[in-house]
Amino acid sequence: MPVRETEAIILRTYPLKEADKIVSFFSRDAGRVRGVARNARRSMRRFGAALELLSHVRLRYSQQETRDLVRLDSCELLQSFFETQRNYEASIGFCYIAEVCEQLLPEGEANDPFFRLVLLVANQIRRTEQIWQPLTYFDLWAVKLAGFLPRLDVCCRCGVKFEPGEQAWFRPEWEGLGCEACRGEGSWRFSADSRAVARTMLASTLEAVPPEGWSKSRAEDLRKFLGQQIERHIERRLITRPQLEALP
């Protein structure tokens, strides 16, 4: 039975039997993997706080070819976001990141840029104690790294290029943004400011985007558009998205 050691981010745990847990984790070397942590609910000795949501850990696990679930042998905590998640708003933000990772990342495919993105965003939430700027950055790059970010400077219906400062429109069934002429009934507005935010975030690091002046309303249309793109791609609704939208 080969034993692997890898850096990983804990995405989710589920109770299994009397005292075990199923752990879904995003490993740096092997992508998204699911495994069993024996006795993790009863004894804190082997896993402690390392299996909490989005914990950055060094994991040792063994894998049998005939089994879907790997066996977690030990877990060393490298970085914890336990304190940050005491805040309900941050806790929803972290759950959202974990849910998007679980739904978007294919099982068993390493994705180092995505791994770095999750750590970067989680650390930014911890540092700034606010979620809207880091989550916007996460949404944008998650969609880009997953390979389905459409062009934000042309109408996906007629191909016309948007003027600087021109607002665009979007609908859940569209693959991109639409222009004024193509919008039709029931489309949502996509502001020119949000297109500028997206441009800046795609061209620079998260640290280069000033965290000041970010309230929920800033780039809300961009997050809604990206959320719809994710849901269209995974063909299901995200559980945590309505909870984020319900935050004051």
Report whether 194 contacts 172 (CB < 8 A). no
In the bound complex, what is the minimum distance in angstroms from residue 174's beta carbon to other proteins? 27
In the bound complex, what is the minimum distance in angstroms from residue 91's beta carbon to other proteins? 4
* 203 vs 246, beta carbon nearer other proteins: 246
In the bound complex, what is the minimum distance in angstroms from residue 210's beta carbon to other proteins? 27
In the bound complex, what is the minimum distance in angstroms from residue 14's beta carbon to other proteins? 10
In the bound complex, what is the minimum distance in angstroms from residue 104's beta carbon to other proteins? 15
* 90 vs 140, beta carbon nearer other proteins: 90
Residue written as token pair 């914990």: 55
Report whether 223 contacts 194 (CB < 8 A). no
Nearest alpha-carbon partner for 16 in 69, 73, 95: 69
Instruction: Report the interface residues with other proteins, using CB under 8 A.
Output: 12, 15-18, 44-45, 48-50, 52-53, 76-77, 80, 82, 85-88, 91-92, 94-96, 98-99, 239-240, 243, 246
In the bound complex, what is the minimum distance in angstroms from residue 51's beta carbon to other proteins? 9
b or e along 200-226 (b: 16 or more beta carbons within 10 Å of the residue's beta carbon)? ebeeeebeebeeeebeeebbbbbbbbb
Rounded CA-CA distance 206/198 in Å is 12
* 152 vs 238, beta carbon nearer other proteins: 238
* 202 vs 247, beta carbon nearer other proteins: 247
Output the six-digit token pair for 166. Answer: 């021109």
